[in-house]
Amino acid sequence: MTISSQEKNLFQDISFSAHAGELIAIMGPSGIGKSMLTRAIAGFLPSALTAQGSIRINGSEVANVPLIQRAASQRPAFIFQDALQALNPLVSVGGQLTLALTSSRTRPNKAQKQTIVSLLEQLGFESPKDTLGKLPSELSGGQRQRICIAVGLLSSTNLLVADEPTSALDPITEREILRLLSQSVKDNQLAGLLITHDLHTALECDKLLLIDDGQMLAFGPPKEALAGSTHQFCCSLRDLIS
Ligand SMILES: Nc1ncnc2c1ncn2[C@@H]1O[C@H](COP(=O)(O)OP(=O)(O)OP(=O)(O)O)[C@@H](O)[C@H]1O
């Protein structure tokens, strides 16, 4: 895939596959275009940018198909840096989770409510039933990110995209959210993309995609990817762990 504006190519010839149950870390210097890459995949690239080439989700071609025009199975769940961006501030947590599960605003039936409550328990909420009645603003940053993970798991997607989901969290909550993300990808056989600036986080992922200077530097199991390029960015990362 190539992403470009009228003035320049942001990237050229990026090509990789994400498989079920696999969490892929995406690393590259700040401003290089990691968010734009995932936005192209998700179908909400800014209008000034276009993607050429192929993006296939579950076998269907979706390059330049806006998110809103895609079938549910071609819409990735997206987890942002700031969960408040992703959640509707005026709708209760229960309302948002019901919408993700049923695609409707009607009250959940008993079985649906149990599905939601069980998921919140798995994601570490101590009082899931109380949480359902709260607005996003009444939760902590870490709790909001866990609700975003829950929204992703309840929707019919099998691609989860997380853009620096822990950058606003303390280190303990950060570890917990990353553990939940990785576990959720494995347990639900999703493909996961995680943009991160943290090398230790990237090393714990199944694969690492390294990008700089408008190109893909390396892709593969993290240590192999890091060893596989002589580009300055990769050398600097290698120095951090040697
Ligand atoms: N709305 C837009 N219209 C046109 N070009 C844009 C737009 N938003 C971003 N860009 C271009 O995309 C480039 C990369 O931005 P992006 O946010 O993807 O970088 P990033 O690698 O995710 O950065 P960071 O690590 O700092 O979050 C920007 O430097 C800019 O040139």
Tally of domains within the chain: 1
Give pTM, 2 decimals: 0.91
Amino acid 120: pLDDT: 94
- Domain coverage including residue 208: 1-76+198-242
Residue 57 lies in a domain: yes
Q: How far is the CA of 12 from the centre of ligand 1 (A)?
A: 15
SS (H, E, C) 207-234: EEEEEECCEEEEEECHHHHHHCCCCHHH
Residue 149 lies in a domain: no
CA 66, 70, 72, 74 dihedral sign is negative
* Tens digit of each residue's pLDDT (9 = 90 or more) over 52-86: 888 888 888 888 889 899 988 888 988 888 888 88
- CATH number of domain containing 230: 3.40.50.300
Residue 23 lies in a domain: yes
| Helix axes 93-102 and 141-154, enclosed angle (nearest 10) | 20
Amino acid 2: pLDDT: 85
The residue nearest atom 1 of ligand 1, judged by CA position, is 46
Residue 21 lies in a domain: yes
What is the value of ipTM here, to two decimals? Answer: 0.95
- Classified as helix, coil or strand, 152 is helix
- Say yes or no: CB of residue 49 within 6 Å of ligand 1: yes
What letters, b where the CB count within 10 A reaches 16 and e where it falls short, cover 68-102? Answer: eebeeebbbbbbbbebbebbeeeebbbbbbbbbbb
How much of the chain, in percent, has pLDDT values that exceed 70? Answer: 100
Amino acid 51: pLDDT: 87
Q: How far is the CA of 10 from the centre of ligand 1 (A)?
A: 9
Amino acid 85: pLDDT: 81
- Say yes or no: CB of residue 48 within 6 Å of ligand 1: yes
Residue 45 lies in a domain: yes
* Tens digit of each residue's pLDDT (9 = 90 or more) over 146-163: 999 899 888 878 899 999
Residue 36 lies in a domain: yes
- CA-based nearest residue to 149, from 105, 208, 202, 190: 190
- Per-10-residue mean pLDDT, the chain, length 242: 82 90 96 92 90 86 88 87 87 94 86 94 92 96 91 87 87 88 91 94 96 94 94 94 80
Where would I find the H helices in the chain?
Answer: 34-42, 83-86, 93-102, 110-122, 128-132, 141-154, 171-187, 199-203, 222-227, 232-241
- Say yes or no: CB of residue 142 within 6 Å of ligand 1: no
Residue 54 lies in a domain: yes
Q: How far is the CA of 118 from the centre of ligand 1 (A)?
A: 38
Amino acid 219: pLDDT: 96
126 near 40, Cβ under 8 Å?
Answer: no
Q: How far is the CA of 198 from the centre of ligand 1 (A)?
A: 19
Amino acid 117: pLDDT: 96
- CA-based nearest residue to 97, from 15, 153, 34, 47: 153
Q: How far is the CA of 79 from the centre of ligand 1 (A)?
A: 17
154 near 108, Cβ under 8 Å?
Answer: no
